[in-house]
A and B are shown apart, each in its own frame.
Chain A
Amino acid sequence: MRATTADREQSAIYTYLICLAAWAIPGAGHLLLGRIQKGVTFLVALTLMFLCGLWLEGRLFPLEIRQPLVALAALADMGVGVLFFIARGAGAGAGRVVALTYEYGNAFLIVAGLLNMLVVLDAFDITQGRK
């Protein structure tokens, strides 16, 4: 039986919602897709990695288009979803440049965001039946 246009649209909306959830809360996409073990692992690992970055006095970079490298770092930071906005809202992630662990903190924060982007792509692949 052929899928109707409405079915395809509904499927596309479902895919986008899963990807949005996966971005917003690390592991949420996998949890919604029934991959509980993977979802919980991503949730715990990426959240802890992000918190480690804050603890190490890393900076949550602002989205400054005039400074391309800062903007790219900000986009990577935002990859971790609502955690980024909660931390920014709470005044965390100001970054202390003179701290010994500042660069390590940045690496933790940026990589947590980038890894979550990979997790979103994995959730997308699952919705497309590729995994």
Chain B
Amino acid sequence: MTSHLGLMIVFAFFVSIVFATLMRDEPKQQLRFGGQLFAAFVVGGITLGWILYFFPL
């Protein structure tokens, strides 16, 4: 749960919920947009992590 990936997923979950609720009025639209945001955050985070893996400090 307190792994980097786990915490990133929890963080993405909360931020997606709030953004989706702010930006969409209908619960169905909120769910759809929230799911898309969540997927984008998680996939984007993992992708960025792998890209940075090849460019160490």
Contacts and interface: CB of A to CB of B under 8 A. Distances in A.
B2 A45 contact: no
Contact of B18 (A37, A42, A56, A104): A42
A48 B14 contact: yes
Contact of A46 (B2, B11, B18): B18
Interface string B1-26: 01000010011001101100110000
Contacts of A101: 2, 7
A126 to B, nearest CB: 11
Nearest to B18: A115
A91 to B, nearest CB: 22
Interface size range of chain B in the complex: 10 to 19
Nearest to A50: B14
A45 B14 contact: yes
Chain B facing A: main interface SS: helix
A37 B15 CA distance: 17
Contacts of B14: 45-46, 48-49, 52, 108, 111-112
A45 B7 contact: no
B34 to A, nearest CB: 10
A100 B17 CA distance: 26
Contacts of B10: 52
Chain A's interface size range is 20 to 34
Nearest to B2: A101
A111 B22 contact: no
Contacts of A111: 11, 14-15
A46 B21 CA distance: 12
A130 to B, nearest CB: 13
A115 B52 CA distance: 27
A118 B21 CA distance: 11
B27 interface: yes
Interface string A21-55: 00000000000000001100110011011001000
